[in-house]
Amino acid sequence: MLRPRIIPCLLVRDKGLVKTVKFSSDKYVGDPINAVRIFNEKEVDELIVVDIDATTKGLGPDLKMIERLAAECRMPFCYGGGVKTVEQAQAIISLGVEKVALSSALVDDPSLASRIADKLGRQSVVSVLDVKKKRFSSRYEVWTHNATRNTHLNPLELAPLLQQHGVGEIVINSIDHDGVMKGYDLGIVEQIRDVTTVPMSVLGGAGSVADIGELIKKFGIIGAGAGSLFVFKGSYKAVLINYPTLADREALVRAAHLRSA
């Protein structure tokens, strides 16, 4: 049975786990390996790990770090950061990773998605679109390199193009909502859903299980990703790895199937 996925997203910088607000002001929150072990115990649906320095520093994927994470991970694992070639994607998948996430590489060359999909299957190719609303406008634009480079591309045009080139999943990541914990940007999610058919996941803004519930109630079978929600606890944001209880997750699944019935 298809069901919504609730997905912790871990950001890695210098091999440490960090959390950002609007893609800046990063705060060190611990060891990513320890976080993976705790998420194993909590039986999470899926895990996304992104090395946020790899592309901005012109580095390739840290295969040793990925291998350590994959060896610990007992849930489907998606890795992103510095992937620019088919060979890098193959190396990552060979370590036990299920999906490879790409951002700027697909903006530069959308056909890279089809070449990776030919080798690994389109289910392993994920496009991450970091989006930001243009100032004084309702239009969104795609940014890359930790939101330091504006491509001026419209995600409503780029997303279907990437789907045509073989991307098997699209992750919409709201720059303005990142780390704010006041709810997802449902508007851009709806717009992207209207122009694509591949599975979608959403990042940026989740501050409570209720925010995840709102996303699932509106869109049904979707990936609800979050960072701060799963590494912080309470108004003072004490570091505590957490995840919704089984009862909460079952309630969210019921809401999704009620919507699709």
Q: What was the pLDDT predicted at 259?
A: 66
- Active site annotation includes 130: yes
Residue 207 corresponds to which tokens in the numbers above?
């501050």
Which residue has 């006041």 as its token pair? Answer: 182
**pLDDT mean by block of 10 residues, the chain; 261 residues:** 89 95 93 96 96 93 97 97 98 98 97 98 98 92 96 98 98 97 97 97 96 94 96 86 91 74 57
CA-based radius of gyration for the chain: 17
Q: What was the pLDDT predicted at 143?
A: 98
- Catalytic site residue from 51, 62, 130, 211: 130
Rounded CA-CA distance 221/219 in Å is 6
Nearest alpha-carbon partner for 243 in 23, 47, 99: 47
Q: What was the pLDDT predicted at 236?
A: 73
Count of residues in the chain:
261
CATH architecture of 5-260: Alpha-Beta Barrel (3.20)
Nearest alpha-carbon partner for 33 in 8, 60, 10: 10
Q: What was the pLDDT predicted at 235?
A: 74
C-alpha triplet 257, 126, 105: angle, nearest 5°: 155
Q: What was the pLDDT predicted at 161?
A: 98
pTM for this model (two decimals):
0.95
